[in-house]
Amino acid sequence: MSRPMGAWRHHQEHRGRMWAASPAFRRQLFLLRLLSPPFVLVPGGGGCSSSSSSSSSSGYLRAHAMAASASAGPVYEADAEAVVRRITPPLDPAQHKGQAGKIAVIGGCREYTGAPYFAAISALKIGADLSHVFCTRDAATVIKSYSPELIVHPILEESYSVSDGERETISSKILIEVAKWMERFDCIVVGPGLGRDSFLLDCVSNIIRHARKANIPTVVDGDGLFLITNNLSLVEHNSLAILTPNVYEYKRLVQKVLNCEVNEENASEQLIALCQNIGGITIMRKGKADLISDGKTVTQVSTFGSPRRCGGQGDILSGSVAVFSSWAQHFLLSNEHPTEKSANPMMLGCIAGSLLLRKAASLAFEKNKRSTVTTDIIEFLGKSLEEICPADH
């Protein structure tokens, strides 16, 4: 018996909505728009609106325009709260699991199990629906014991467990296993707790290349930056790549790419030159104020966080940036206007991630003072986002 026309049309519309919501569709559409006339982020249509969102968005636009006109000149403060309000999606009961973001962390070895956990659980605490960790077998059981919320894949290997004759075969098996999942992810984080084992780094290099071919946004932090610094071709000319170096990692990048020392007097010019020389990637230089550039503009987030410098805050940041970058990409694709000019979702993700970590660190320090540790900060991520972007709006 043939299906009634109304039911058929409803079925086709449902299939269309499901495809439009898929990560693969959003990535393809975003890359197509990179080739189209640029557009700007304008007030109206944000996922989390409030009575002050329009004025806040206008403030963000002024800061962004000033930075653009200054080019390699002064650095301007981003209206980070406005960015968070614009790109954070609403809590819609009609959505299904996964539509608010699926994040993967590539990292975790027998020495380092906390870092990948911090990055992955932070993504969930901010609002991603699913968070995966791809780690070594030695790290998997430990990471699973931290939280049942994470999906842990014990597939990576280190040199000590692989003979010379097995390397090529095992490396190929690892890539095949990761590739089965890759298209499902909105963003991946490479580096937390990765370590510097040569075989493991070679396997992760293949994963980065595969993610690039699949147009998956990639945040690189921790030991991932050690890998990138020694093999810049992994991220060169990749507009979906974000590097989040600390002061020492940034110094090594500048020495490697620009063949000079860090110049604090011309920090914005040097950051732009660094981004341009690696081919227009986005870099967040972490510090007292986080400087963010894609080789075109420089903006900063200097909201005070915490004087407590416990280890692991960079891992929180990488997970946060991954979620917000995927949200920003989806927001820009969903809010096209003929007169709009381009805004880089990787830049917006960095701005939002930086602010949220700083607010959460401030709240955690207010409560715990000198005893503040990374898990305390993670527990305040939700409250920090709620204060900027209430869930019931």
- Give the pLDDT confidence score for residue 221 in this predicted structure: 98
Using DSSP, state whether 293 is helix, strand or coil. Answer: strand
Token pair, residue 372, equals: 């503040």
- Give the pLDDT confidence score for residue 69 in this predicted structure: 41
Q: In this structure, which amino acid lies at residue 193? A: G
Higher pLDDT, 13 or 111: 111
Using DSSP, state whether 305 is helix, strand or coil. Answer: coil
Burial class of 236 by CB neighbour count within 10 A (0 to 12, 13 to 18, 19+): middle
**Angle at the Cα of 353 from the Cα atoms of 349 and 358, rounded to 5 degrees:** 155
Going across the sheet that includes 102-106, the strands are 76-77, 298-301, 290-293, 282-285, 241-243, 218-220, 187-190, 102-106, 130-136, 151-156
What's phi and psi for 38, nearest 5 deg? -70, 160
Q: At what angle do helices 114-126 and 313-334 cross, to 10 degrees?
A: 40
Q: What is the pTM of this model?
A: 0.84
Of 146, 46, 127, 144, the residue nearest 86 (C-alpha): 46
Could you report the per-residue pLDDT of 142-169, keeping only the tens digit for each? 999 999 999 999 999 999 998 989 999 9
User: Average pLDDT of 31-37?
Assistant: 43
393 confidence band (pLDDT: 50, 70, 90): low
- Give the pLDDT confidence score for residue 98 in this predicted structure: 72
374 pLDDT more than 90: yes
- Give the pLDDT confidence score for residue 26 in this predicted structure: 56
Could you report the per-residue pLDDT of 45-54, keeping only the tens digit for each? 455 644 343 3
Distances (CA, A) of 330 to 44, 187, 196, 345: 15, 12, 34, 9
